[in-house]
Amino acid sequence: MATSPKPDSLLVGHPHQATPINAIFKVSAALTPASVNAATAAEQTFNPAAFAGIQSTDTVVMVSCAPTGNATLVGQVRVSTTGTIAIQYVNPTAGALTPGAGTYTFMVIRWDA
């Protein structure tokens, strides 16, 4: 069960088992994904300087990504380690494809300890 929240904390969940949020912020970075093999879901990790403040206990949500220009899709997004975001790309086609390079934006949620 979560501890008592700070007076200015946002609570998420059931009132008796809510988890306080410490901070919510946005990060953006130019990313260049690698090619994804045919009929594959592959995770790629990125650690540009813009991600330096992300902690391993944070939660990330992708807000926007570069247009792929092909059939690749974005699957799961997570913090893999401090300062690094992992993005799963899905290629449902019969040939290798490269997801779009460009600016990716994430919402970072930092939970109270």
Tens of pLDDT, residues 26-74: 999 999 999 999 999 999 999 999 999 999 999 999 999 989 889 999 9
Count how many domains the chain has: 1
Residue 35 within any structural domain of the chain: yes
Q: Which of 42, 56, 39, 21 is nearest to 92 (CA)?
A: 39
The residue segments making up the domain with residue 55 are 24-111
- Decide if 7 is inside a domain: no
For residue 85, being part of any structural domain is answered with yes
Burial of 28 (0-12, 13-18, 19+ CB in 10 A): middle
Q: Does a structural domain hold residue 91?
A: yes
Question: For residues 63 and 9, which has the higher predicted lDDT (pLDDT)?
Answer: 63
Model confidence, pTM: 0.85
Please indicate, yes or no, if residue 17 is contained in any of the structural domains.
no
What counts of helices (H) and strands (E) characterise the chain? 0, 7
